[in-house]
Amino acid sequence: MKPFAKAIVVALIQATLVCSLGAKLLHDRSTRPRAWFKTERFDPNLPIRGRYLSLQLEVKDPLSPEEIEK
């Protein structure tokens, strides 16, 4: 195989990989549920001791609990 042909094959393989990742992204965005979470840092101890942090989530969902269970 000539070097130019090898380069074309490698370029096609790379383009196929990139296109497949893009197709997977589009498929996931159309089929997977979307959720946004607002997080805020919270230090249960003194402000000086920032080693131990916990995250608290604030979730707002436009659907009622009955609609979510369906």
* pTM as predicted: 0.47
DSSP per residue, 10-69: HHHHHHHHHHHHHHHHHHHHHHS-----EEEEE-SS-TT--SS-EEEEE---SS-HHHHH
Q: Please tell me whether residue 46 adopts helix, strand or coil conformation.
A: coil
Domain coverage including residue 41:
3-69
Per-residue pLDDT of the chain (70 residues; tens, 9 = 90+): 899 999 999 999 999 999 999 999 999 988 887 777 666 665 565 566 555 555 666 667 777 767 666 6
The tally of domains found in the chain comes to 1
Rounded CA-CA distance 11/28 in Å is: 26
Both tokens of residue 63? 């659907």
